[in-house]
Structure 1
Amino acid sequence: MADRKQGNERGGGWLSRFAPGVRKIVSRRDTPDNLWVKDPDSGEMLYRADLETSLWVTPSGRHMRINADQRLRYIFDEGQFEPVAAPDVPEDPLKFSDGKPYRDRLQAARKAAGRKDTMAIGAGDIDGTPAVVIVQDFSFMGGSLGMAAGEAFVAAAREAVRREVPLVCFTAAGGARMQEGALSLMQMARTTLAIQELKAARLPYVVVLTDPTTGGVTASYAMLGDVHLAEPGALIGFAGPRVIEATIREKLPPGFQRAEYLQEKGMVDRVVTRPELPSVLSNILSILMDARNASRAA
């Protein structure tokens, strides 16, 4: 027994003697902590690589939340696009603190999400159709609408006008950013004016509502599109269902504020699965652009 123990110590264990370097390969430190992801619906453990291949749509059909970088790669042809920079804005103009300074919250959010703010903009082809796409990243402070997000939206709209291509907006937000007070609410008006610039240029504006789209975003640019698409199961509304139930003291209908319910009521034009989105968007955009070009020619 002692000889076996000494042999293991000298040789690093029987596995290492038969396959040198195996210990390093299978080291616990080299094993990703997020190799498996739990399905929120079934509780089943899903292999992360399989989820990435399926565009983060689970076998149960749940469209899991994805970040802005993933969204841009999935929507553009071959994942190729030209990033469009958003203007810088003053940080913490109100010197706000809710127990923690807003500047510190921004720094923490940037470190966690790996981006400067919630919006990301790209220009490229969607199934062969040129477009500018702006994506709201819920992982950055709940996709909250602040000055940076408003400036990014205006920049995206003007880039679409400059290129004479449609604008597609993927929404995902919990509402306005309270740390910026009235300055965040002003972005509802500014983004609305940016959409008017698109309309003046007769360029299509298409919105894809993802989970969740709520608050001031729903009360502004999320509901001003020429066409409104939504991912399956997305929560879409102004106030959340629990707030509404507490206010009216009534039980809401099944599926209330979900994409399918809103399609049935006419608030959403079509519910589209994530793998279908590029082709569906391309068809819609090309039809709208053909109509625009025919009108201009006439």
Structure 2
Amino acid sequence: MFKGIFRKQKKYATIPSEQAKRDIPEGIMQKCPRCGAISVTKELEKNWKVCKNCDYHHALSARERIGITVDEGRFFEFDAELVSEDPLHFPHYLEKLKKDREKTGQNEAVVTGECTIGGYPAIIGVMDSHFRMGSMGSVVGEKIARAADRAATKRYPFILFSASGGARMQEGVLSLMQMAKTSAALERLHRERLLFVSILTNPTTGGVSASFSSLGDLNIAEPEALIGFAGRRVIEQTVRQKLPDDFQTAEFLLKHGQLDQVVHRSRMRDTLIQILDLHTDGGENNE
């Protein structure tokens, strides 16, 4: 008679109703693409968008990067009005650009401007992988070249955060030409003996890694950032051998001399302040 009392009750999975789904604001939680840990978005943002479980560095928008790097209220944007055209009449290119402008709230895949960091004046550029995967078209190259020219004219250090899948295929050879244009603009900084700090974030690949992002007086990267020109599979097929598991990571490049330092996002601003302090005449703020 007691058999039914102690019988285990079956557990059934429940599916949230459509109303329950609507009651949860979109974007309130984020899943780590590496370890799968679920984080509250606000808590993740307080931690510089770095996973507390596995230390994975989530992608930042250009505005987010500027917000955690420059002094509050001390960023003055350049060339925000520049927009890409469709010189090759590539199918649906203009529609895709329009969608990315609406999604990101900016006109192109890089934001440039004048700022102070720890009180030290600088010209800064920040690429955004949310806009056409940070690809470099004519406008991206033009904005970076103009920023480098302004740094040379004002004799300010130039700091550039890269995040890109490479040259923008929809602009063909015009996109590839930006590699030479940006490199030439940086040559002026070199001749003027002005500081250029290149910061490579995940990912920095293709024509961007093969041009301006590798030309810094100091080349710095975030932990485990993917950095390289051709893809891993292409290289393995070319050299006909298995590549190391950590190939094309920031740590691999640091070990082989292509980077000067790998810096955690939480320490990046302080590191830049130290660099600017060392490269300021007499160690004093020249603002």
Choose 88-97 or 142-151, whichever is displaced more: 88-97
The letter of the residue matching 1:267 is Q
The answer to whether residue 27 in structure 2 is matched with residue 34 in structure 1 is yes
Match of 1:171 among 146, 162, 166: 162
Q: 1:203·1:292 contact (CA, 8 Å) conserved in 2?
A: no
Deviations 1:106-161 (A, max 9, x none): 11222222211101013211122211110110111111111000110012112212
The answer to whether residue 64 in structure 2 is matched with residue 70 in structure 1 is yes
The letter of the residue matching 2:184 is L
Deviation of the 1:70 alpha carbon: 0.3
Q: 1:165·1:203 contact (CA, 8 Å) conserved in 2?
A: yes
The letter of the residue matching 1:72 is I
- Secondary structure of residue in 2 paired with 1:32: coil
Q: Which runs of 5+ in 2 are unaligned?
A: 1-18
Closer, same or farther: CA 212–174 of 1 in aligned 2, 3 Å: same
Q: In structure 2, what is the equivalent of residue 53 of structure 1?
A: 46
Choose 185-194 or 196-205, whichever is displaced more: 196-205
Deviations 1:222-257 (A, max 9, x none): 111100000001000001212222333322112111
Q: 2:117·2:273 contact (CA, 8 Å) conserved in 1?
A: yes
Number of residue equivalences: 265
The letter of the residue matching 1:210 is T
Q: In structure 1, what is the equivalent of residue 82 of structure 2?
A: 88
Choose 213-222 or 41-50, whichever is displaced more: 41-50
Q: In structure 2, what is the equivalent of residue 143 of structure 1?
A: 134
- Which of the two has greater helix per residue? 1
Measure the CA separation in 2 of the matches of 1:206 and 1:160: 12
TM-score using structure 2 length: 0.87
Q: In structure 1, what is the equivalent of residue 250 of structure 2?
A: 259
Measure the CA separation in 1 of the matches of 2:73 and 2:27: 23
Deviation of the 1:265 alpha carbon: 0.6
Closer, same or farther: CA 275–149 of 1 in aligned 2, 3 Å: same
RMSD: 2.0
The answer to whether residue 102 in structure 2 is matched with residue 108 in structure 1 is no
State, as a whole percentage, how many aligned pairs show the same letter: 43
Q: In structure 2, what is the equivalent of residue 18 of structure 1?
A: none
Measure the CA separation in 1 of the matches of 2:81 and 2:155: 21
Measure the CA separation in 2 of the matches of 1:267 and 1:144: 22
1:208-287 alignment runs, 5 A limit: 208-287=199-278
Q: 1:133·1:167 contact (CA, 8 Å) conserved in 2?
A: yes
Select the structure of larger CA radius of gyration. Answer: 1
